[in-house]
Amino acid sequence: MTRPSVRDKLRVVCISDTHTRLERYPERVPSGDILLHAGDFTKHGLPIEVKQFNDFLGSMPHRVKVVIAGNHDLTFDDDLVKNRRDFLEHNFNINEDVFERKLAEFGVNTCKELLTNCVYLEDASVSVCGLNIYGSPWQPQFPNWGFYLSRGEACLQKWNLIPDDTDILITHGPPIGHGDASFFLRNRAGCVELLSTIQQRVQPKYHVFGHIHRGYGITTDDVTTFINASTCTMLFRPNNPPIVFDIPLPTGHTKDELASVQPCRLTRPL
């Protein structure tokens, strides 16, 4: 049973890796003030998948929804869409002509424009009632998918963009050692540079991620609470319940400010 919310705290509901499956079960998502999605809301980033996800978000009661992309959300990766169309067609059967026709049918130029019921973050921040939320989609584990970076310096350059004053960090992939044990890999799938950035510099109150379905759950280093919010299991069944936490409102801020956060797309230029 979900405990009642209180006026001096924001209730945050975390989901990730829904892969078009949770839309069938909206009743599984508890109410709250903020809904966070840590990526992989589609199977392959098809326009119809994004449209259905956006409709799902619109049906949710949370006053603020914050979303990042994941490696499965292929058409959100600008490099893949602009420079690697042959790769998308050969590996994922995303035909360029069919893709463009479907976008035109929906009256948009990109899949990102279909997200009208949330704040979409891509290496960017949004302030909600005085709390700074930063979102980034990158991951160093699966090179033939979206938002892939080589381990080491390439990852560190992205994590260096995370502001020091971040309260809630959302990434698609996990840090090393927290919710990153993969059935398919002998070693952990998490990012060393991400963990060092979190522990040595940013120290957010919460780090929400997904990507590794098997890693679902909560861990902590006594400074940051790490939440792998993967909704789908390894068999892609949406059986893992959303993870909920309450975070105190900063001094001088109230829940009335939630109304000032409007849906938008915030991305950092390349």
**For residue range 208-237, what is the model confidence (pLDDT) as tens digits?**
999 998 999 999 999 999 999 999 998 999
Percent of the chain with pLDDT over 90: 80
Calpha distance 105→87 (Å, rounded): 24
Instruction: Reply yes or no on whether the pLDDT at 250 is more than 90.
Output: yes
Please give the pLDDT value at position 161.
97
CA angle 143, 148, 150 (to 5 degrees): 80
Full domain range(s) for residue 254: 9-267
Which CATH number belongs to the domain containing residue 27 in this structure? 3.60.21.10
Residue type, 35: L
CA-CA distances (angstroms) from residue 120 to 27, 66, 73, 105, 184? Answer: 23, 6, 13, 22, 30
Percent of the chain with pLDDT over 70: 96
Instruction: Reply yes or no on whether the pLDDT at 69 is more than 60.
Output: yes
| DSSP category for residue 198 | I
Calpha distance 48→111 (Å, rounded): 9
Q: Which two tokens stand for residue 198?
A: 């979190």
> Average pLDDT of the chain?
93
Residue 209 in any domain: the answer is: yes
Q: Which two tokens stand for residue 86?
A: 């042959």
Please give the pLDDT value at position 185.
55
Instruction: Reply yes or no on whether the pLDDT at 21 is more than 80.
Output: yes
Number of domains in the chain: 1
Residue 3 in any domain: the answer is: no
Residue 140 in any domain: the answer is: yes
For residue 42, the tally of other CB atoms under 10 A from its CB is 24
Residue 1 in any domain: the answer is: no
Residue 4 in any domain: the answer is: no
Please give the pLDDT value at position 188.
80
**39, 16 contact by CB (below 8 A):** yes
Q: Which two tokens stand for residue 191?
A: 């990012």
